[in-house]
């Protein structure tokens, strides 16, 4: 296991857990923006993401608001690949695509801007549980005439990733770390 992956896994294993009703929720700076983000953990995630994606097949990086911003900005700087962010508010720009994204936690519209027909995208996101957000984003990207070549999530939790792989077999979809919650404990799964 690489030092970068070890650093990420250790930070997740030590993440605080809070309860929202009957649901245990781990809190991590990569997925929630709190507690403070250790720059070495962000560097580890950036290193792992950079190594996992075939950048020769990517024209544009798409991050998802909010935590997609700190994940994708360093990748854009390192790779020289431009970046756009799926936002939770409309700007009304020409070509804007509105999508309905639903997760296990919320439902709200999202807006994609400045994605051009024929572009090949890498989507980098923080966590995938049900797959609702990414499913909506994939369909939104299709509506622009672009294609998603790779989806990489930092944390895979739940069945969503496997189902997306079945539903979108032409897209490479993977994660850096798989985990599950066991009561109030974060359990890291082996790959």
Q: For 6-55, how does the pLDDT look when each residue is reduced to its tens digit (9 = 90+)?
A: 999 999 999 999 999 998 999 999 999 999 999 999 999 999 999 999 99
Question: What pLDDT sits at residue 100?
Answer: 85
Residue 94 lies inside a defined structural domain of this protein: yes
- Whether 141 contacts 115, CB under 8 Å: yes
CATH number of the domain at 82, please: 3.40.50.2020
Residue 100 lies inside a defined structural domain of this protein: yes
Q: Quick one: pLDDT band at residue 135, thresholds 50, 70, 90?
A: very high
Helix axis angle, 3-13 to 39-52, nearest 10°: 130
Burial of 74 (0-12, 13-18, 19+ CB in 10 A): middle
Residue 12 lies inside a defined structural domain of this protein: no
Of 173, 154, 149, 156, nearest in space to 67 by CA: 154
Residue 44 lies inside a defined structural domain of this protein: no
As a whole number of angstroms, the distance between CA 37 and CA 85 comes to 20
Query: What residues make up the domain containing 118?
Result: 55-182
Residue 95 lies inside a defined structural domain of this protein: yes
Question: What pLDDT sits at residue 1?
Answer: 76
**For residues 80-94, average pLDDT:** 96
Question: What pLDDT sits at residue 103?
Answer: 53
Residues 146-155: tens digit of each pLDDT: 999 999 999 9
As a whole number of angstroms, the distance between CA 7 and CA 56 comes to 27
Q: Which residue(s) pair with 98 in the sheet?
A: 111
Question: What pLDDT sits at residue 108?
Answer: 83
Residue 125 lies inside a defined structural domain of this protein: yes
Structural domains of the chain, count: 1
**For residues 110-118, average pLDDT:** 97
Residue 47 lies inside a defined structural domain of this protein: no
- How many Cα atoms within 13 Å fall on the side-chain side of residue 174? 11
Question: What pLDDT sits at residue 105?
Answer: 55
């Amino acid at each position: 296991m690489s030092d970068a992956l070890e650093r990420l896994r250790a930070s997740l294993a030590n993440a605080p857990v809070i309860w929202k009703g009957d649901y245990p929720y781990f809190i991590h700076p990569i997925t929630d923006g709190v507690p403070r983000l250790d720059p070495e953990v962000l560097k580890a995630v950036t290193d792992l993401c950079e190594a996992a994606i075939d950048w020769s097949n990517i024209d544009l990086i798409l991050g998802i608001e909010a935590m997609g911003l700190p994940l994708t900005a360093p990748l854009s700087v390192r790779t020289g690949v431009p970046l756009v962010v799926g936002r939770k508010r409309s700007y009304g720009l020409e070509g804007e695509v509105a999508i309905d994204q639903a997760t296990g936690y919320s439902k709200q519209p999202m807006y994609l801007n400045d994605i051009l027909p024929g572009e090949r995208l890498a989507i980098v996101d923080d966590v995938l549980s049900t797959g609702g957000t990414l499913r909506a984003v994939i369909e939104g990207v299709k509506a622009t005439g672009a294609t998603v070549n790779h989806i990489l999530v930092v944390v895979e939790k739940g069945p969503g990733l496997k189902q997306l792989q079945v539903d979108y077999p032409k897209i490479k979809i993977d994660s850096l770390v798989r985990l599950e919650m066991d009561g109030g404990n974060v359990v890291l799964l082996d790959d």
